[in-house]
Amino acid sequence: MVTTLLGGIDVASATPNGYPSPCFFSHNDTTYAIIGNVDGTLSFVSGIDGHIDDGDLFETIQENYLSVNVGAYSSATIADLNGDGFLQLLIGQDLGGLYYMKDDPNSNVGLHESLQKEFSVWPNPVNEALSIEFTDYNGETSAEVLNLMGGIVKKLEIKNKLTVFNISELKPGIYYLKLSNHASAIKFIKL
């Protein structure tokens, strides 16, 4: 079968919701797909079993899966890579970066749960002062600023709903802010 709309998903053009290589995987006898997008996000779809004929539609579970954003041209694969019985997610991007996420069996985030935006980070790009604001602040937490290699370059303590950090000592480049109680990281550019 040759189609440009696989399950209603544009797999032929480089639109924010299209990408030519979705990753299909099976979990608990159900087929799912994670689709990398040109804007660096991932889409998570189900309803694939029995719906692969031209004109059939899949069900989009989450447009911005796990709030992942790797910058541009994301591509993913998911499998039990280390044989522990849990799924691991590898995400690649156009500049050659590779991100690894693993399932935490103690986490309350399930495969089908939608994550709400719990915090914002601005400005981006940033020169000196990086602000982090929580939608619903639940108490003191910590964060790490990571370089592109995943190395920790700065540790931060967050004690309020809105916290502003001086990051002027960081060299210009691309960094990630990883909160201790969140699975994903936010990319930011230091000028």
- The domain ranges of the chain are 5-102, 119-190
Indicate whether 81 pLDDT > 80: no
Indicate whether 135 pLDDT > 70: yes
The rounded percent of the chain whose pLDDT value lies above 90 is 9
Indicate whether 16 pLDDT > 60: no
Q: What is the mean pLDDT of residues 123-128?
A: 86
- Quickly state the pLDDT bin for 109 (edges 50, 70, 90): very low
Indicate whether 102 pLDDT > 50: yes
Architecture of 119-190 per CATH?
Sandwich (2.60)
Q: What is the pLDDT of residue 108?
A: 46
Could you tell me if 27 and 15 are in contact, meaning their C-beta atoms sit under 8 angstroms apart? Answer: no
Of 157, 164, 166, the closest CA to residue 131 belongs to 164
Which residue is listed with tokens 């940033």?
A: 126
The encoded tokens of residue 78 equal 């998911």
Indicate the pTM of the whole model.
Answer: 0.50
Give the integer Cα–Cα distance in Å for 111 and 123. 31
Distance of CA 108 to the CA centre of its chain: 17
Q: What is the pLDDT of residue 168?
A: 94
Angle at 91 between CA 90 and CA 95, to 5 degrees: 135
Q: What is the mean pLDDT of residues 66-84?
A: 79
Indicate whether 120 pLDDT > 80: no
Q: What is the pLDDT of residue 4?
A: 57
- In which element (H, E) is residue 185 found? strand 185-190
